[in-house]
Amino acid sequence: MFFPYYYFDWTYLLLIPALILSLWAQSNVNGTFRKYAKVTSRFGYTGADVARKILDMNGLYQVKVERIAGNLTDHFDPKSNVVRLSDATYSSQSVGAIGVAAHEVGHAVQYATGYAPIRVRNSIVPVVNVCNMLSMPILLIGVLMSWNSTLIQLGIILFSATVLFQLITLPVEFNASNRALATLRDKNILDTTEIKGASAVLRAAALTYVAAAVSAVMSLLRLVLLFGGRRRD
C-alpha cells in the first residue's frame, strides 16, 4: 500500500500559541523598556549607582558592577561575582534602567542569602546543557532505528530537563523583581510614580520567561504525543 510522504502534522498547532506569546512578550519588553528609558528619575541615580547602592545595603561589597556591551544583556554572574549592566542600563538615569539594575542585583542577593530556587537552577545548568545537546539526536536515532522505544523515551526524558529548568527559572525571576521593587520603594530610590514605571518594565521582562516556559512545555507535550505512545514493531 502507498502512503504519502507528506502529511499534516496537527501537533504543530500546539506550538503556535507559544510562538505568538513569545513574539508578543519580546516585542512588549522591548517596547516597555524603550518607553521608560525616556523617563528620567528625579533623584538622578544611574543604573550603576543603584546597583552599587543596593549591593552595599546588603553588605555585598565584594560584588562588582561592570558595563557590558549590548541592549538588555544585563545579568548577574555568580562565578565572577559581578553584576553586568548593558550600555542601555549602566549610565542611564531612566526609570527603566534603574528597574533592570535593581532586578539584577536581586539575583546577587538571592545567591548571597542562599535562596533555594536559584541554587537549584545554577546547580543543574551543566546537566541541562548536556541533556539539551543530546535529547534531539538520541530521539532521532530512536526513530531511525525502527522506532526504538527505549531511545525515544530517553530522548524525551532528556528534553524534560530543559522544561524543568524553565519552570525553576520562573520563581527566580519573579522573586528578583519583587526584591528590586521593594528596595526601590522602601529606600526611596524611586518615587511612587516611578515605581509604577519600573514595575511595568520588570513585569514585561517576566513575561518573556513565562513565554519560554510555555514554549518548552508545549514542545515536550508535542514530543510525547508524537512519540511517547509509539512502540517498536
Cell 510562538, residue?
19
| DSSP 3-state of 202 | helix
| DSSP 3-state of 66 | strand
| DSSP 3-state of 94 | strand
CB-based burial of residue 33 (10 Å sphere; 0-12 exposed, 13-18 middle, 19+ buried)? Answer: buried
Question: HSE on the CB side for 52, CA within 13 Å?
Answer: 11
Q: Annotated catalytic, 66?
A: no
**Looking at the DSSP assignment, which residues form a beta bridge with residue 84?**
66, 75
Under a CB-based contact definition with an 8 Å cutoff, are residues 209 and 215 in contact? no
Which one from 66, 104, 173, 194 is the annotated catalytic residue?
A: 104
Query: Is residue 84 within a helix (H) or strand (E), and if so which, with residue range?
Result: strand 82-86
CA Rg value for the chain: 22
Question: What are the residue numbers of the active site?
Answer: 104
